[in-house]
Amino acid sequence: MTDVKTVFGSLRNYQKGGVEVIDDDPRNYVFSNVFEVAEKSQPYERVAVGKNFDYVIEALRAEGTSPWYACAHDEFALVMDGRVEVRLMKPETPLVPSDKSGALRLTAAPSGRKMGRVVAGRGHMTLLPKGSAYQFHADQPSVVTIQTIQGDVTVERWADICQTK
């Protein structure tokens, strides 16, 4: 046995750090915490917590069943807390133009073939393959971050989520 303690965060228990300014503006660091953002978001709001030109990292609270999404490029979902099922479909015809960036929210379940599903726990990363449609489901409030490109579903509210002083 070992007495080592690795500290992960969760919706219920996270301890945020922060920017200690010497000669600077804390806004330069765009500092937030994914658990805090998820705590204060509606289920499945895809809030940008990182942005580098077109690319974003979105944080979302997974709770209940999400809308269906489709995307023309790969995305990756990393579960930070809880347990999330990812359901994957291959649409009959492409739902997103190939040059369109970011995920699109679909109004209904797509028709097509079932690709399969993944049940992911904390620390598990799931491929959301390009050209597929996907839906999340979580029985208990969970937290997911998504590596993707900024798109129609991406919500930006930096001044609300980031350290400003």
Partner 1 sequence: MSTAFAVQASEPDNYYGYRRFKKGAFEFHRDEYFVHIRWPKGTHTMAADIFLRALQRDIAWNFFYGTVNFDGVFGTLNHYGTVDMFAGRFNDAYRKAGRDYNETYKSEDLMATFKAILEDWTNRGYDPFAAPEETKQPYGRKDGDNKRAIERQRVTAKRMVGLPGDTPQRSDAGGYPVNRHFADVPQDQPEVYPEPGFEGEVSAFNLFAYLSRSDVTWNPSVCSVVKDSLYCPTSEEFILPVEHGNDRVEWFMQLSDEIIWEIKRKETGAPRARVVCRAGDICAMPADIRHQGFSPKRSMLLVWENNSNAIPALIESGKAPVVPVVF
- Alpha-carbon distance of 44 to 34, in angstroms, equals 13
Binder of partner 1 out of 93, 97, 114, 165 (CB under 8 A): 114
In the bound state with partner 1, the residue whose beta carbon lies nearer, of 107 and 156, is: 156
Establish if 105 lies at the interface with partner 1 (CB under 8 A): no
The residues, ordered by sequence, that sit 6+ positions from 105 with a Cβ below 8 Å of its Cβ are 67, 68, 69, 152, 153
Contact between 117 and partner 1 per CB under 8 A: yes
**Token couple for 149:** 């490109």
In the bound state with partner 1, the residue whose beta carbon lies nearer, of 33 and 135, is: 33
Q: What is the distance between the terminal CA atoms of the chain, rounded to a whole angstrom?
A: 43
68: which 2 tokens?
């269906």
Site string for partner 1, 29-68 (x = CB under 8 A): xxxxxxxx------------xxxxx-x-x-x---------
155 makes contact with partner 1 (CB under 8 A): no
In this structure, what token pair is assigned to residue 111? 């028709």
Query: Which residues, 7 to 36, sit near partner 1 by CB under 8 A?
Result: 7-9, 14-24, 26-36
